[in-house]
Amino acid sequence: LPPDKRIGYAVVGLGHLSLEQIIPALGGCKKSKLAALVSGSPEKMKRVAEMYGVTPQNCYSYENYDKLKDNKEVDVIYIVLPNGLHKEFVVRGAATGKHILCEKPMANTAEECREMIAACNKAGVKLMVAYRIQFQPHNRKLRELVQKKELGEPKFVEASNCQSSANPDHWRHKLKLAGGGALPDIGLYCLNTTRFVLGQEPEEVFAYQYSTPGNALFKEVEEVMSWQMRFPGGIIANCSTHYNVHESRHYRVLCEKGWANMDKAYAYKGQSLSRAKADGKMELHENIGLAEVDQFATEIDHFSGCILDNKQPFTPGEEGLQDHIIMEAIYKSAREGKPVKL
């Protein structure tokens, strides 16, 4: 689309994700463009605005954020704040009449997600949760392999998303701002991608949680969560997430006649898809190469396309809510030491 026809985005919160991924990606979008900035750091915002050609009148604080209502250049508000602030800014954003794109995890609790969905419905605006993996070609290809049963019936999923963190003062280690520890931040990828790939919803979960006593990083939020999900027909997913080990991000779907494997599954780039297929006594092993795309640009343009064509986004608010319902069951299971039905 020519620039004057593209959907205008106000990016809220100028942290790592906005500055390193989202704002650069908007420059490469075909249906979307950067229109406004919202920040609590005026000096930083001024520098970013100058760099990307955003006018001073299109720069807002968290206090005058609601004035976006009167800005005709803005069609979408993109919330890229700490998780514990998503609900407030989505609800206030919806009241301006702008469509809302919200980073993952959608909020801190399922109850907050319900409020956010209701606010967007009441205002008649679209709401999408930014699950970029669902727009990433290698992950979409794996999903197609599994759902077309090319490797027979799926029976078992192994998924893991782990990294190490070092700063106990960061909001990710404060319960009120983060909503939890490794699970909602990075374990969520195992949960959401497994649901996406299988195209099914879990019926029961069973979880184990641990935090090293005395470690300042894990005073408020969990260090590790390990959990199982049982899907209809008896498919079991074995998932794990850790905040205190070297980075590892992969999953594998084991099927009756083969398996599909994704390395660097949840990374910003570099996904590596392979599969093995049983052929009599032989095993055929194959790497499936696909072109890389900018996941952020693809996801943002998807939402713009939904606005231009008046369609429901592929990952609407209900998708975020479902993950929070399941995460709450995972915490409950870890607390009580027994399986929890959904």
Give the interface with ligand NDP as residue ranges (CB under 6 A).
Answer: 13-18, 39-41, 44, 80-83, 85, 103-104, 130, 132, 171, 177, 185
Nearest position to ligand NDP, beta carbon? 15
189 is catalytic: yes
Render the burial of 266-279: b for 16+ CB within 10 Å, e for the rest. Answer: bbeeebebbbbbee
Please say which residue, 21 or 274, places its beta carbon nearer to ligand NDP: 21
Q: Comparing C-alpha atoms, which of 96, 44, 11 is closest to residue 300?
A: 11
CB of 299 to ligand NDP, least distance (A): 8
CB of 41 to ligand NDP, least distance (A): 4
Q: Comparing C-alpha atoms, which of 300, 249, 243 is closest to residue 18?
A: 300
**What are the phi and psi torsion angles at 288 (to 5°)?**
-105, 105
Q: How many CB atoms lie within 10 A of CB 281?
A: 5
Please say which residue, 44 or 141, places its beta carbon nearer to ligand NDP: 44
CB of 136 to ligand NDP, least distance (A): 11
For residues 328 and 342, give the distance between their C-alpha atoms in angstroms, rounded to a whole number.
Answer: 10
CB of 72 to ligand NDP, least distance (A): 24
Tokens 């699970």 belong to residue? 183
For residues 16 and 48, give the distance between their C-alpha atoms in angstroms, rounded to a whole number.
Answer: 13
Given 60, 131, 189, 243, the catalytic residue: 189
For residues 54 and 32, give the distance between their C-alpha atoms in angstroms, rounded to a whole number.
Answer: 14
Q: Tell me which amino acid residue 210 is.
A: Y
Q: Are 180 and 331 within 8 A, CB to CB?
A: yes
Please say which residue, 15 or 305, places its beta carbon nearer to ligand NDP: 15
Please say which residue, 258 or 317, places its beta carbon nearer to ligand NDP: 317
Please say which residue, 35 or 340, places its beta carbon nearer to ligand NDP: 35
Given 104, 131, 243, 251, the catalytic residue: 104
CB of 15 to ligand NDP, least distance (A): 2
CB of 314 to ligand NDP, least distance (A): 15
Please say which residue, 163 or 274, places its beta carbon nearer to ligand NDP: 163
The dihedral through the CA atoms of 39, 44, 50, 53 has a sign that is: negative
Render the burial of 40-68: b for 16+ CB within 10 Å, e for the rest. Answer: eeeeebeebbeeeebeeebbbebeebeeb
104 is catalytic: yes
Q: Are 121 and 321 within 8 A, CB to CB?
A: no
For residues 181 and 105, give the distance between their C-alpha atoms in angstroms, rounded to a whole number.
Answer: 11
For residues 208 and 10, give the distance between their C-alpha atoms in angstroms, rounded to a whole number.
Answer: 40
Please say which residue, 39 or 333, places its beta carbon nearer to ligand NDP: 39
The residues that are catalytic are: 104, 189
